[in-house]
Every structure is written in C-alpha cells, then in structure tokens.
Structure 1
Amino acid sequence: MISIQTTQDQFQQGAIDKPTFIKTMYEAHHAVLFDYARYIGQTNVRKIEVEDGKVVMTSRDRGIRIACTPGDYRVAPMETLNFFDYEKEEATMMENLVADGDNFFDIGANIGWYALNIAASRRATTVYAFEPIPTTYGHLSTNLALNASANIKPHNFGLSERAGEFTFYYPPEGSGNASAVNLTGRDDVRTAQCQVRTLDDYTAETGARVDFIKCDVEGAELLVFKGGLQTIARDKPIVLSEILRKWSAKFNYNPNEIFTLFRGLGYEVYTAEDGRLARFGLMDEHTIPTNYFFLHPEKHAEQLRRWLRA
C-alpha cells in the first residue's frame, strides 16, 4: 500500500498532476475513514481519533481511551476491531467476581486494558498494575493519563519467583507477548533489561492486601505464584490466569503444576463458559481453554453460589 507521504511527494515533485493527486488522496487514503465509520458500529470501539503522531481508540461500553502503538497489531483495541470485542467471556466473569473496594493485582498489565476497565467499573477498587518492559510501561502511563485514572497504581517491574534484573524478549508487533524467555525463537525479537520482584516481598513491604490477581505473563505464571505463596495462602485472592501449554514448556514445567499448587492451598479450578463458572480438571493435549479461575470454596462461597454452573 502506498503511503500518504509518498502520494504527497509524487505531487510535490511533479510526478502526478493536481486532479490525479486529489483523486488518489481520497481513493487510496481518505476514503478509509468512512469505511471505518461504517464498520466500527458492530465492535466495542466507539471512536477512533487521529491526533498528532497518535491514534486513540475509545471503547463503546466504558469509554476507555487507549493510545495504540504503531506496529503492535495484537494490542487490545486492534484485536477488538478484528473480533468485535476482546476476551469478552473471561473479562465479563472477572468483573462479576471483583467486588467494589477490592485490591486488584494486574500482573502483566501491558498497556493497561484490564487495569483501566476494572478501575472504571469498580470505582472503589485499587488496581496495582505491574509491567516490567520500560517502553510498554511508558504506553501504560500514557493510557492512565488519557483516562485520568486515580485508582491505579502502576509499577515498572515484574513479579516472579525471585528478585533481580532479567532480560525480557518481545516481538516488534506484539508487546503483549513479552516474556523472560524468547518464546518465538525469532532473530528479530527485541530485548529489554527489566526489574523483577516477588509478590511476597511486595506485600510484606507495602502491607497491601490482595483480593484478586489477574496474571498473564506468557508462560512464567508458575514462577509468579511460587513467589507469592505466602500472600496467596494468607489472603486467598481470586485468581485469573492465562495458562498455555506451549508457553509453560518454554519454562520447563507442565501447566498442571499450577493446578496442583492451587489445589494444595485449598483452591478449585474453573473456566468461564456461557456466563457461568465450570469446574475444570487437568490439562492435556486436547484442552481448549487458555484462561482459568481459581477460587477457594470457603473464602469465595458466595461467588461460587452465584456463578457456578449447576
């Protein structure tokens, strides 16, 4: 596809005449604005703003504004344009389970999609957002400013089994796939030196209570939970975690080790299906779900009574 600047240069250099320039600018470039105006009505994107050096999308349901990152075609608003919404089943169940006033820990916050949505839907909730990649953290900070989010506390470090400085890897088109190992094996992967702490150390230092954990750290989920065992055993938070076989294999563990860990703490495992929680056993090569909820049957008896599928 020819760029707007290339068309402009062709005209300025005399390669095309004025009528051709005007027609090309509209047909090759400007007409797409009206195409989007017709298209977005079926998606959870209500508005697309083009500002100086920036594209900002606003969600239809909550009015969340997200500045999109050039080249990152896996960012939540782009995925929403593609598939009309973003992880709707899990996001809806997560919001059903978060009580107003909870402390919500967003581990692997990326650009802030989940943090911002929880902060908007649960005004009395405090969101602790952890994002280790410096450039991604910059985008997170931009989006928090765009939404004037006062109940989100951002942190430019990750959480894992032990503290230190580690190399993280991420592909140019997807900061959401950042991980402490090179998941893709590609040569064009980007790297960043990132600070990492443990959840137990953080809660011990701050005294923060943990009511809900959303963990999406591209395969390192088991390490996060091992670094927070004392906190999880004490506070018994509800946990939502992405767990993929292909990513856990990169960290040399079986994803069922996460289920065993939580069951050892008295938890049960669920997936979200048709607006309800469904009990889950063990993962095998045929397992389709990738997002799992962990609830403690005593601590979360009321949530289970309300949302567990009969």
Structure 2
Amino acid sequence: MANFSDFWQYGVVKTLRKWKAAALSPITAARSSGPVRSAYGVLMTPNWQDTTFRYCIFGTYGRDLSDLLLRRCDDFVFVDIGANQGLYSLLAAQNPRCRSVIAFEPVPATHQRLAANVAMNGGAERTILHRLAIADSVGAVKISVAAGHTGTATLAGRKAQTGGGVTIQTIDAALVDPLLAGDLPLFVKIDVEGLEAVVISELTKTRAFARIDAIFYEVDNRWANAADIEALLRGAGFTNFAKYGRGHHYDILATRS
C-alpha cells in the first residue's frame, strides 16, 4: 500500500502538476501583471521563463516541506541553504513560531529576486539574506547556471549546463558559524544540486550544529550517495530519516531522537 501511495503522490500527481505548470504558464503570464500569488499563498516576482518559478506558482513541489514549516508549533529558526527565489523562506516566515529566517542564495540575479520576494511578503523584518554559498573553501568561484531553470545551478562539478556560469562567493564552516549564532533550534533546508554532503559536512564543524534538530535535504542518486550522507548524519547524532519521494530524485528529513 505504501508503494502505491508513493507512486500516486510522487509519480502520477507530481507529473500532472508539471504538465499543469507547462500548459497554464503561458496563459497565466499573459493575463497577469505585477506580483503573482503562488499555489502556496505567497507572492512572487514574475519570472515566467524560469522552470523553478513556474513550479512554485503552480504547486509542483507538493506540500511536504511547506506543511512541515507551517505546522511547526515550537519556536525555531529556519535556515534556507540554496534558497533560490525564496519559496520556503517565505513560507517559514508565515509561521509565527519562526523567529527568524536565514537564507543563502549565491547567484546574483536569483538573489535579487529572492530579496524582492521577501520584501513583498510578511516577515521581511525577520529575514536575513546572504548572497553566499556554503562549501569547503572560501573564495570566488564559477557556478554553473542553466538557462531557464535556476533551480539546477550547481557547484558540484557536473557537466557544464547550457547558459554558462557566473561568479559567486563561497564560505566554509568558520565563516558560517557566526551567521547562525543564537539559542533557538534550527530547521535547515539544503537544496544545492549535488553538494549536499559537502554542506552538511561543513555544518557539522560549526558550534551551531548542536542546535540543528531537523535537516530537510535533496538527494539525486545520479550524483549523490544517500548512504554516505545518512552515515555522516548518524555519526553526528541524527537517528530518524524519513523519505519524501521516489525514483532517483527525492528528499530526506533527518531528525534527532
């Protein structure tokens, strides 16, 4: 029964959402002017040529992470690593229990849209934006950015994507730590297109890591090893791993006991 449920939710339904986004985007784009309200209820700056934006608008990503953020009932800080245009930062800020949002998005053009989206939704005063990527070194590097799909920007060294690269700034654990200073529990989302293990490894080196009680991270078996990431987190005190999705591309929620 569980396998059928996963097939239906992450196979059939998600595919239908993608078709819906493709079919309705030209119509909606032609009819709309100014900010667009997404299926998740937050406003976003129009960016119709971008697949990630269209998925946000039409709810293609489903409700897994959005429900986790909106239903959390204890005080927390949301750390959005690979924030893109900010869907989950915006949603976290809708929860009054979210005392602050710390978002990392290194690509300049995407970061600009993130800032614009934060400014026109509630919670801007509690949101801190960093135009930075977390990696295992500090400096200016080129990131691969695919034309028409900002969500596939990657530092993971995969084959170059159409659209070329842009220069971004990376920081390591030593520079990340002061950015996460505080006392509240941290809920971390990581979506960095294959660099998840590196980001998690850097987080484990910070003093702030002890305050992380949940990490929601993306896995794509074509360029990431889920077993290695789980082993790293288990060694750092995480014991529960819930899978959201099916096939080679899915998400994991790691929590402590």
Q: Is the contact made by 2:64 and 2:244 (CA closer than 8 Å) also made in structure 1?
A: yes
Does residue 271 of structure 1 match 2:253? no
Alpha-carbon spacing, 1:206–1:216, altered in 2? closer, same or farther (3 Å): closer
Alpha-carbon spacing, 1:197–1:80, altered in 2? closer, same or farther (3 Å): closer
Shift of 1:272: 4.3
1:26 maps to what in 2?
none
1:247 maps to what in 2?
223
What is the TM-score of this pair, normalised by structure 2?
A: 0.77
1:290 maps to what in 2?
250
- Once superposed, what is the RMSD of the aligned Cα atoms? 2.7
Residue type of the partner of 1:103? Answer: V
What is the TM-score of this pair, normalised by structure 1?
A: 0.65
Deviations 1:37-67 (A, max 9, x none): xx98xxxxxxx7314xxxx2113553x1101
2:213 maps to what in 1?
237
Alignment counterpart, residue 129 of structure 1, candidates 103, 114, 117: 103
Residue type of the partner of 1:74? Answer: T
Residue type of the partner of 1:234? Answer: A
With a CA cutoff of 8 Å and minimum separation of 6, indicate the structure with the bigger relative contact order: 2
Aligned residues: 227
Gaps of 5+ in 1: 1-34, 41-47, 249-253, 274-285, 298-310
Shift of 1:172: 0.9
Q: Is the contact made by 1:214 and 1:241 (CA closer than 8 Å) also made in structure 2?
A: yes
Q: Aligned with 1:110: secondary structure?
A: coil
Q: Is the contact made by 1:233 and 1:265 (CA closer than 8 Å) also made in structure 2?
A: no
Alignment counterpart, residue 43 of structure 2, candidates 55, 59, 65: 65
Q: Is the contact made by 1:100 and 1:125 (CA closer than 8 Å) also made in structure 2?
A: no
Deviations 1:178-227 (A, max 9, x none): 111454534x3321111111245322466235511000000001111111
| Percent of aligned pairs sharing the same letter | 21
CA distance in 1, matches of 2:36, 2:150: 18
2:114 maps to what in 1?
140
Q: Aligned with 2:222: secondary structure?
A: helix
Deviations 1:133-157 (A, max 9, x none): 1111111111112225221111111
Q: Aligned with 2:80: secondary structure?
A: strand
2:166 maps to what in 1?
192
Q: Is the contact made by 2:76 and 2:97 (CA closer than 8 Å) also made in structure 1?
A: no
1:95 maps to what in 2?
70
Shift of 1:92: 1.6
Q: Aligned with 2:84: secondary structure?
A: coil
2:230 maps to what in 1?
259
Q: Is the contact made by 1:163 and 1:196 (CA closer than 8 Å) also made in structure 2?
A: yes
Shift of 1:94: 4.1
Shift of 1:100: 4.7
